[in-house]
């Protein structure tokens, strides 16, 4: 009987812990823990130091279907000499010296089942600001999903901007 109670208690703890994890991952404001904590606020908004544009790091956003996460070579262009005493920059440097890239966790994505072809290129070309789809990234210490990019949300934006809402534009 004691053993059954112990197993039941352990299962209850596992269920609660799993539920809390799922709530954190799938609830609004999802902010996955990254292998190297990157602070967008420090790079985009902070009064002293660099105030970079999104495209400085996400250099492929206007050229391809994906904005892409920058390679560590881009990061090391600055961090070879800037904030080298920071534990996160030291992790970045060690990863770079191993010739590896961190296993970043995606924050924004389209579910495969949606059968959506999305490309940043026409959106950037139309002058759409990154915050329209990704939220106030410059205010984030840890990147989180602020915008729920549903089909209805996209269609509303297309209509507001006078862009096509024909199915084949997004579904190919």
CA 120 to chain CA mean position, Å: 14
Which of 22-31, 128-137, 156-165 comes out lowest in average pLDDT?
22-31
Give the residue with greater pLDDT, 100 vs 3.
100
Q: Which pLDDT value is given to residue 4?
A: 55
**Highest mean pLDDT, choosing among 1-10, 18-27, 59-68, 160-169:** 160-169
Q: Which pLDDT value is given to residue 172?
A: 81
Residue 147 backbone class (left: φ over 0; alpha: ψ -120 to 50; beta: rest): beta
CA dihedral 126→132→136→140, nearest 10 degrees, is -80
Which of 3-12, 80-89, 143-152 comes out lowest in average pLDDT?
3-12
User: Is the predicted pLDDT of residue 112 greater than 70, yes or no?
Assistant: yes
User: Is the predicted pLDDT of residue 24 greater than 70, yes or no?
Assistant: no
Q: What token pair was written down for 50?
A: 């660099």
Give the residue with greater pLDDT, 45 vs 11.
45
User: Is the predicted pLDDT of residue 129 greater than 50, yes or no?
Assistant: yes
User: Is the predicted pLDDT of residue 131 greater than 60, yes or no?
Assistant: yes
User: Is the predicted pLDDT of residue 88 greater than 90, yes or no?
Assistant: yes
User: Is the predicted pLDDT of residue 26 greater than 60, yes or no?
Assistant: no
């Amino acid at each position: 009987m004691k053993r059954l109670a112990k197993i039941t208690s352990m299962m209850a703890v596992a269920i609660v812990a799993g539920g809390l994890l799922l709530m954190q991952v799938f609830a609004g404001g999802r902010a996955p823990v990254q292998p190297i904590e990157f602070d967008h606020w420090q790079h985009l908004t902070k009064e002293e130091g660099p105030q970079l544009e999104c495209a400085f790091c996400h250099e492929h956003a206007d050229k391809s279907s994906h904005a892409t996460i920058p390679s560590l070579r881009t990061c090391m262009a600055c961090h070879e000499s800037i904030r080298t005493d920071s534990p996160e920059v030291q992790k970045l440097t060690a990863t770079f010296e191993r010739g590896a890239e961190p296993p970043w966790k995606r924050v924004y994505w389209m579910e495969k089942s949606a059968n959506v072809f999305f490309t940043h290129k026409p959106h950037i070309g139309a002058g759409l600001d990154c915050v329209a789809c990704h939220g106030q990234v410059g205010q984030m210490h840890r990147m989180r999903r602020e915008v729920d990019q549903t089909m209805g949300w996209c269609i509303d934006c297309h209509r507001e901007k006078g862009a096509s809402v024909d199915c084949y534009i997004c579904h190919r």
